[in-house]
Structure 1
Amino acid sequence: MFILLFSFYAKSETSVYILNNTDDKLHITFGGNYELWSNLGDEYVEPYKYTHVGDLNRYSKIGSGKTYYNFLFLGTSNLSLAIKLQGDFWGTNMSYTLLDPRSDTMIDFYSDRNIHTMIHGKYKYYYKASYTGVYDSVTIVIEKIPDKITNDEKKLSILTYNIWMLSHVGKYMSTRDKLIARTIKNNEVVFFQEMFRSDNQANVIRTMRKYFPYVSRKLDGGGFNTYDGGVITFSKYPIIKQQQYVFSNCTGTDCLSDKGALYTKIVKGNIPFHLVNLHLGSWNDVVNRNIRLTQVEEVARFIKSLNIPTNEPVIIGGDFNIGKNKYPEDFMRMKEILNVIEPSLYGKLIYSYDPYINENVTYTGESSRERLDYLLLVDNNSIVESFSKIEIPRSFDKNMWGIWDLSDHFAVRAEFTVSNNFFDSLHQ
């Protein structure tokens, strides 16, 4: 009995968490019965970071029959978290809500564990209590509502994403396979890599087809390998041609799959786009790095064999597994071999593999953060403007609550604009 009571008293607080799913630092402050707050963290929550910000005492300093209001303010223009504690003999009963700190209106408080949502200005909020074994924790998510995407006939938006559907390695695959599509639906073309696990393939394709009616065949060497290539392309525009190439060079566990490059030609309006979706070797010892660059040379020869008109846009993307920060010489050599240009990067995120932010992988230090995924354009003057942004597909579904991230990689989105000369030549 003593041990149970000690455990109860030792855990007599509600932990509060924030997922700041925006591009900006979030300045937080605490209010109400300030003496009930403890273990307060930094006053800023980093962009896209899931952070424990403080604990709210549920037993000591609480009077039976008394009510305590406590607040977590998320800056001056955002909604705030309000937690109401009602004291009783055993501690407190808790309810919670979101409110506008500039308003005098106090809305309904919740005491359940459902996910609640609110929209305020440019932001959408999700919040819920979660069972911990003693007192519930409370988590609030804030994300910016995406801007509406306008369709420009001269532009093409592409997203590349390693979706981590790999047996015995990927996590939560039977949940993630049905949630990915809705988070990336606003792109025009999507490249997937690591769609290896056959148990999940049907759900991925079924949900993606709701938004992308044109689907390539999956990269597959057709032999008796453990895995096929795991590479597939989805498009909102007709795919009129497809070819594939499986690498001749590999080493170690990479040889268990048919890694390679998948070529598709799509037509948007009457603009042809030549797309190459690839997945290169994974490992970073000297032997594997050299083999990976040999694979890049194989991709270059494959593209040359396609006899693509030299004035038409060619875009190469996927999981290159080439860390541009750790191995800049490999990255530069890859660009030289493929004769490609990297679009300018905007936004706060610079890594596509980032254990510091991604809840699916363990952070072991700055060296574990890296850029591995790219969308690049062949330098032939057909594309005059391009930019890219690292995006984090996340789900706030109840089955992903507290996990959020839909892969161990982040996605890379890029937009490409064809030149007026090329566009006009198609209309003559």
Structure 2
Amino acid sequence: SQTGTHILQQGNEWAQEATQIAPYETKRVLRINRYTGLKSGKTYNFDTVVSTGNSQVTLKQTMTGTWSGSTIKHGIQTATTTSPWYSDRDIHRINTTYAGLSAQAAVKAEYTGGYDDFHYTIHQNTVQEPVSSSADELKVLTYNVYALPMVASKISERLAELPNHLNGYDVIMMQEAFASSRTGMLNQLAQQYPYQTHIPVGSGYNLFDSGLVIVSRYPIVKTAQLIYPDCTGTDCFADKGVLYAEIIKNGKAYHVTSTHTASFDTDEARALRQVQFQQIRQLVNQQNIPSFDAVLMGGDFNVNKLLWPQDYQNMLTNLNATAAPSTGYTASTFDPRVNKLAGAAGSGGTAVEYLDYVVASNTHRQPTQSRNDVRILRTTADPLYMT
């Protein structure tokens, strides 16, 4: 809505744009003209209400006409708090409850070379996973951290922030942990996950190592690895492979593998992935794991089950494994609609993909219950705001 001591013409001098915003989506909701039709000394107030159910946050701007254009200030209003007016480019945050969840409303003015844009977020605070000491329960997270130098952006900032959001798991499998800033991340994670594997490296020279690492809350008593002998395209610049670890949680053994298989959807890459799944299974078989132990295989499998359902079934067959039922968010694990990094140059383009999995071996201890959740991590930390 618009109020003030003078009114601008809707459509020509200001316009509401997006009227619906999906979860995790970014859209422009308001366009304000800063010159045409404004009168010096007059005020123009704009309130944009973003709501779901009984929750709402109001995005506020107040503009004053001048002889040469206008000045503008911005703010936020929640159910319990109205911010002061801001005229700087700092990030301003208000803790609130939105849709029944602990949340944070924030705003930042962004320099554009002309008039500033205002970037607002309604951010659900990370729900930390509760720690479980039960020997019969294992909480496993697989995460491609996209720390690929020369391609990915804000690597050191992201890796510094990640440990703040990875509490409560038993085991974390990481892929694409290539950058040197992984050392600081792993040191920070060691406060909760003191048991950490090596990062597999091939026998010859390559631009990147495997980027694979497993960290655990409980002792890692054995590791093994395989660097895949074959590759396609730019995958050949990294020592892609599979990493195995045996973990003892309060007296009970668990066996996990983490991998980052062949990228791309060429016929050659799709066929190679299936070979690599067979190689993962061979590595598991070579460990002579008792049938009463649980075996979980996870990682960035690069099989988009949304596009290639038969490839997904072949993957499970070659791994001789079963995927747990999916709960919560099931649309993707790689989605440029909600993740700027996924759509960046050198990444995945516009494709929405489901690529990451944790599956259980069919020939070993079976879970009495299990589930897969896709966790969408967001932050409003200063260096990553709106990333």
TM-score normalised by L of structure 1: 0.80
Letter of the structure 2 residue corresponding to residue 391 of structure 1: R
Match of 1:45 among 9, 21, 24: 21
Q: Which of these residues, 142, 147, 151, is aligned with residue 160 of structure 1?
A: 142
Where structure 2 has 5 or more consecutive residues not aligned to the other structure, the ranges are none
Contact 1:31 1:73 in 2 (8 A): no
1:274 CA drift (Å): 0.9
The residue type equivalent to 2:358 in the other structure is L
Partner of 1:411: none
Tell me how far apart the structure 1 counterparts of residues 383 and 9 of structure 2 sit (CA, whole Å): 31
Q: Single out whichever of 299-308 and 266-275 deviates more from structure 2.
A: 266-275
| Residue 108 (structure 2) pairs with residue 128 (structure 1) | yes
Question: Are residues 214 and 83 of structure 1, via their aligned partners in 2, closer, same or farther at CA, if it must alter by over 3 Å?
Answer: same
> 1:47–1:255: structure 2 CA closer, same or farther, 3 Å change rule?
same
Query: Which residue of structure 2 aligns with residue 257 of structure 1?
Result: 238
The 8 Å contact of residues 18 and 28 in structure 2, kept in 1 or not, is answered as no
Match of 1:219 among 178, 184, 200: 200
Cα offset for 1:114? 0.7
Structure 1 residues 327 and 148 mapped into 2: Cα distance closer, same or farther (>3 Å)? Answer: closer
Tell me what 1:392 maps to. 376
Partner Cα separation in structure 2 for residue 232 and residue 36 of structure 1: 58
Provide the secondary structure at the position in 2 that maps to 1:375. strand
Change (3 A) 1:59 1:163: same
Partner amino acid, structure 1, of 2:222: K
Q: Alpha-carbon deviation of 1:140? A: 1.1
SS in 2 for 1:98: strand
How far the C-alpha of 1:293 sits from its partner, in A, is 0.7
Deviation at 1:146, TM superposition (A): 3.8
Matched residue count: 371
Q: CA 1:347–1:32 in structure 2 vs 1: closer, same or farther (change >3 Å)?
A: farther
Aligned pair in 2 of structure 1 residues 395, 155: CA closer, same or farther (>3 Å)? same
Within 2, Cα distance between the matches of 1:385 and 1:39? 52
Offset at residue 291 of structure 1 (A):
1.6
Other structure's SS at 1:295 match: helix
**What do residues 209-244 of structure 1 show as CA deviations (whole Å, max 9, x unaligned)?**
243222111122243233221100111222122111
Q: How far did residue 294 of structure 1 move?
A: 0.9
Q: Which residue identity does 1:53 align to in structure 2?
A: V
- 2:156 match: 174
* Gap change, CA 1:64 and 1:315, over 3 Å in 2: same
Q: Secondary structure at the match of 1:293?
A: helix
- Cα distance in structure 2, aligned partners of 1:156 and 1:35: 59
- For the 8 Å contact 1:212–1:236, the answer to whether it is kept is yes
Asked whether the 8 Å contact 2:106–2:120 carries over to 1, the reply is: yes
Residue 388 to residue 131, structure 1, CA distance change in 2 (3 Å): same
Q: Is the 8 A contact 1:341 1:376 kept in 2?
A: yes
Residue correspondence of structure 1 range 176-215 to structure 2 within 5 A: 176-197=158-179, 199-215=180-196
The code of the aligned residue for 2:309 comes to P
**2:329–2:375 contact (8 Å) kept in structure 1:** no
Residue of structure 2 equivalent to 1:88 = 66
SS of aligned partner of 2:204 = coil
- Kindly provide the CA deviation profile for residues 129-179 of structure 1, in whole angstroms up to 9, marking residues without a partner as x: 111122111111112234453333233222211122223222222332322
Instruction: Note if 1:281 corresponds to 2:262.
Output: yes
> In structure 2, which of residues 213, 227, 235 is the aligned counterpart of residue 232 of structure 1?
213
Q: For 2:59 and 2:275, how far apart are their aligned partners in 1?
A: 54
Distance of aligned partners of 1:243 and 1:84 in 2 relative to their CA distance in 1, 3 Å threshold: same
Q: Distance in 2 between matches of 1:322 and 1:215?
A: 27
Q: In structure 1, the residue corresponding to 2:156 is in which secondary structure? A: helix
Q: What is the distance in 2 between the residues matched to 1:238 and 1:61?
A: 69
Comparing 56-65 with 325-334, which one deviates more in the overlay?
A: 56-65
Q: Deviations over 1:240-299 (max 9, x none)?
A: 221111122333432332211111112222232211011111122222211211111111
**Cα separation, partners in 2 of 1:310 and 1:346, compared to 1, 3 Å:** same
One of 294, 297, 300 as aligned partner of 2:278: 297
Residue type of the alignment partner of 2:360: L
1:6 matched residue in structure 2: none
The structural deviation recorded for 1:363 is: 8.4
* Partners of 1:356 and 1:363 within 8 A in 2: no
Q: Within 1, Cα distance between the matches of 2:300 and 2:90?
A: 37
Kept in 2: contact 1:184–1:393 (CA 8 A): no
After TM superposition, the structure 1 stretch with the greater mean CA deviation from structure 2, 148-157 or 229-238, is 148-157
Residue 206 of structure 1: CA displacement? 2.6
- Whether the 8 Å contact between 2:123 and 2:379 is mirrored in structure 1 is no
User: Given the alignment, which residue of 351, 355, 360 partners 1:372?
Assistant: 355
User: Cα distance, 1:367 vs. partner?
Assistant: 7.2
What CA distance in whole angstroms lies between the structure 1 residues aligned with 2:307 and 2:82? 52
SS at match of 1:177: helix
Identity of aligned residues (%): 27
Residue 44 of structure 1, CA deviation? 0.9
Q: Which amino acid aligns with 1:388?
A: N
3-state secondary structure, aligned to 2:39: coil
Aligned to 1:421: none
Q: Does 1:357 align with 2:338?
A: yes
Residue among 299, 311, 330 paired with 1:318 = 299
**Contact 2:334–2:342 (8 Å) recurs in 1:** no
Q: How far apart, CA to CA, are the structure 2 residues paired with 1:150 and 1:176?
A: 23
* CA apart distance, 1:31: 5.0
Superposition deviation, residue 49 in structure 1 = 0.8
CA distance in 2, matches of 1:286, 1:300: 22
CA drift at 1:46: 1.0
- The gaps in structure 1 that reach 5 residues or longer are 1-29, 405-428
Aligned to 2:182, what secondary structure does the other structure show? Answer: helix
Q: TM-score, normalised by structure 2?
A: 0.88
Inter-CA distance 178–89: structure 2 relative to 1 (3 Å threshold): same
Q: Does 1:145 align with 2:129?
A: no
Find out whether 1:98 has 2:67 as its counterpart.
no
